[in-house]
């Protein structure tokens, strides 16, 4: 791929829900192997933006370029084919299914036995165990997701998204409700992914401090508008804090 072309370029993207303008004229771009922080309060439009990038929502106007080529994802499977993955704040896990099923759902491993393609359950279980323990999460993979703690679910959702080897990884408030320890674990995981796989990552968060160590760029979103965009070096913590806070009445 041409190095000068950004992985993602968004051009004056807007999204209306009836009379409510969730996103207004949003433009930005993200290079390969960079982490973009998306800071904003509840209702600022962070999730809307991520959902549009993942093909779950359609923009009302504006354009998205992926690897220099205009794209319009009609649904998540199209986005996934292009190499986009997402982990949600309201985690998209199957509560009543075992961990390993969640880890491999949508990309199950099969082996050919005669004319049949059969699941390799053993391999999926051992790989899940191995991958999760690499990410510092040791557990019995036969457990159902509903038995996990909030932090464990986050780790599972994030590591599962990373495992699909995406070019663009979208994380919707991955740190909400996490202990400092788990947050650090996810930080390490993301930094490693960025370095080793040259993955571009967009992380939304209501709190700048959660990503200040991690990000290369940061954008503040207020009521659907981008009100500031900084590089890591130029980011002004106090100003970002003030901008984020403006919507808090």
Partner 1 sequence: MAAARAVLRQVFGQYPMWILFGLMYICAGGLMPDLLTAVNFQNTVVQGTVIGILSIGMTFVMLIGEIDLSIVSVAAFAPLMGVLSIQILGLPVLAALVLTVVVGAGVGLFNGLIIEKVRIPSLVQTLATWWILSGVVLVVTEGATKGGFPPEWNWLGSAYIGPIRVVLIFFVIFVIVVWYFSKNTKTGLRLYITGGNENSARAAGIPTSRIRILAFVLSGVIAAVAGYTLSARLAAISSRFGTEWLMPAIAAPVISGVSLTGGRGNIINVVAGAYIIQLIVQVIRMAGIGGYYSELTQGLLVFVAILIDTLRRRMMGIQE
Smallest separation (angstroms) from partner 1 to the CB of 55:
10
Smallest separation (angstroms) from partner 1 to the CB of 79:
10
If one counts every other C-beta atom within 10 angstroms of the C-beta of residue 212, the result is 16
| Cα–Cα distances in angstroms (integers) from residue 102 to residues 96, 107, 171, in the given order | 10, 10, 17
**3-state SS, residue 170:** strand
Quick one: tokens of 15?
A: 């999204």
Residues 94-113 that bind partner 1 (CB under 8 A): 94-97, 101-102, 105-108, 110
Residues 5-64 that bind partner 1 (CB under 8 A): 56
The one segment of 88-96, 170-178, 191-199, 238-246 that binds partner 1 by CB under 8 A: 88-96
Using the rule CB under 8 A, is 131 a contact of partner 1?
no
Using the rule CB under 8 A, is 77 a contact of partner 1?
yes
Judged by CB, which is closer to partner 1: 72, or 81?
Answer: 81
Phi and psi at residue 222, in whole multiples of 5°?
-130, 120
Contacts of range 20-25, beta carbons closer than 8 Å, 24 or more positions apart: 21/224, 22/48, 22/224, 23/48, 23/49, 23/52, 23/59, 23/224, 24/223, 24/224, 24/225, 25/62, 25/225
Judged by CB, which is closer to partner 1: 102, or 244?
Answer: 102
Smallest separation (angstroms) from partner 1 to the CB of 197:
20
Smallest separation (angstroms) from partner 1 to the CB of 96:
5
Using the rule CB under 8 A, is 93 a contact of partner 1?
yes
Using the rule CB under 8 A, is 117 a contact of partner 1?
yes
Smallest separation (angstroms) from partner 1 to the CB of 82:
12
Using the rule CB under 8 A, is 202 a contact of partner 1?
no
- CA 105, 109, 113, 116 dihedral sign is positive
26, 50, 52, 86: residue in contact with partner 1 (rule CB under 8 A): 86
Are the C-beta atoms of 46 and 38 separated by less than 8 Å?
Answer: yes
Angle of the 121-134 helix axis to the 150-163 helix axis, nearest 10: 110
Residues in contact with partner 1 by CB under 8 A are 56, 75-77, 80, 86, 88, 92-97, 101-102, 105-108, 110, 116-119, 121, 146
């Amino acid at each position: 791929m041409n190095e000068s072309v950004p992985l993602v370029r968004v051009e004056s993207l807007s999204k209306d829900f009836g009379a409510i303008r969730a996103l207004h004229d949003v433009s930005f771009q993200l290079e390969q192997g960079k982490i973009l922080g998306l800071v904003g309060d509840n209702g600022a439009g962070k999730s809307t933006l991520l959902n549009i990038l993942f093909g779950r929502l359609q923009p009302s106007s504006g354009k998205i370029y992926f690897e220099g080529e205009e794209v319009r994802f009609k649904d998540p499977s199209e986005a996934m084919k292009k190499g986009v993955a997402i982990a949600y704040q309201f985690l998209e896990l199957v509560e009543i299914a075992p961990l390993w099923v969640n880890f491999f759902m949508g990309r199950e491993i099969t082996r050919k036995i005669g004319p049949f393609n059969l699941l390799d359950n053993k391999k999926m279980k051992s790989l899940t165990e191995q991958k999760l323990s690499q990410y510092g999460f040791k557990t019995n993979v036969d457990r159902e997701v509903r038995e996990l703690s909030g932090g464990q679910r986050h780790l599972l959702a994030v590591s599962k998204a990373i495992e699909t080897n995406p070019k663009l990884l979208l994380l919707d408030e991955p740190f909400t409700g996490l202990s400092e320890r788990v947050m650090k674990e996810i930080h390490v995981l993301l930094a490693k992914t960025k370095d080793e796989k040259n993955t571009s990552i967009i992380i939304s968060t209501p709190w700048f401090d959660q990503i200040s160590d991690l990000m290369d760029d940061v954008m503040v979103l207020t009521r659907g508008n981008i009100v500031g965009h900084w590089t890591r070096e130029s980011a002004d913590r106090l100003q970002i804090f003030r901008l984020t806070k403006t919507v808090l009445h």
